[in-house]
Amino acid sequence: MDFIIIDPTGGTFHFPVNPEEVLIRREKQYETATILSLGEIDLLQGERVKEIAFSSFFPKVYDPSYCRYLDIPDPQLAMNKLTAMLMKKQPVRLIITDTIINALVHVSAHDSTFKGGEPGDVYFDVTFRTWRNIKVGSVAVVQASSRPDTKPVPKLYIVKAGDTLTAIAKREMGNSAKWRVIYDNNKAVIGRNPDLIRPGQKLVMP
């Protein structure tokens, strides 16, 4: 299982350490009205925006027992990237592999914690709210020029033994020369050497 954010303007962010649990919150929205003969009643207004939340940490030093890939980001830079997403008006795509979660979301809350006994590591809690394209009648409120990425869901390719980026590019994209596009989109997973990919790695295809 991997936790990945795809930002249409900022590339792919792969969380280095999986959280122990994920909280998905759904609830109905009610409006309370008072009727003289009945007293207070609840009027159903529809489903509230879904929330997805989890906690983990950004380690300063790579540890193969819990890190998902070798070239882990600097904790401060990773924290700043989450903060930048929090300030964005456009949604990003959250993918949790091996689950049904693959949705456009906003980063709605982000808390960071530093622990004295673990210098350099940054612990965090992050909450996402699913994005909704609001329409009035048949006309979208968001103009087409600024509409977020609603293209087909990105495809994940799982590396097999004997694979190379050029072979994957040829097989999946019809052109082996496009290996660089795949590499640029997955540097966090592959690392510094594009010739060194490992079976089981999940690559986000362009």
In the chain, how many domains are there? 2
Going by their DSSP bridges, the two strands 102-113 and 139-140 should be labelled as unpaired
Phi-psi bin for 113: left (phi > 0), alpha (psi -120 to 50), beta? beta
Which tens digits make up the pLDDT trace of 155-194? Answer: 888 888 888 889 988 888 888 888 888 888 888 888 888 8
Residue 75 in domain? yes
User: Is 124 found in the same domain as 177?
Assistant: no
Residue 22 in domain? yes
Which tens digits make up the pLDDT trace of 98-140? Answer: 888 888 898 888 888 888 777 889 999 999 988 876 555 555 5
Q: Is the pLDDT of residue 17 over 70?
A: yes
User: Is 109 found in the same domain as 60?
Assistant: yes
User: Is 114 found in the same domain as 197?
Assistant: no
User: Is 176 found in the same domain as 123?
Assistant: no
Residue 84 in domain? yes
For 88-140, where are the alpha helices, taking DSSP H only?
none
Alpha carbon separation from 189 to 28, 31, 81, 152, 198 (Å, rounded): 38, 46, 17, 22, 10
In this structure, what CATH number is given to the domain that contains residue 23? Answer: 2.40.30
Tokens 């280095």 belong to 16
Residue 109 in domain? yes
Question: Can you give the residue range of the structural domain that contains 173?
Answer: 155-206
Residue 34 in domain? no
Give the C-alpha separation, 168 to 163, whole Å.
Answer: 7
User: Is 117 found in the same domain as 47?
Assistant: yes
User: Is 103 found in the same domain as 45?
Assistant: yes
178: which DSSP letter?
G
In this structure, what CATH number is given to the domain that contains residue 169? Answer: 3.10.350.10
User: Is 164 found in the same domain as 98?
Assistant: no
User: Is 87 found in the same domain as 12?
Assistant: yes
Residue 141 in domain? no
Give the C-alpha separation, 206 to 132, whole Å.
Answer: 24
Mean pLDDT of the chain: 81
User: Is 180 found in the same domain as 91?
Assistant: no
Residue 139 in domain? no
Alpha carbon separation from 133 to 20, 26, 86, 102, 140 (Å, rounded): 31, 18, 18, 16, 8
User: Is 102 found in the same domain as 187?
Assistant: no
pTM for the complete prediction? 0.59
Cα 116 to chain centroid distance, Å, stands at 29
Residue 61 in domain? yes
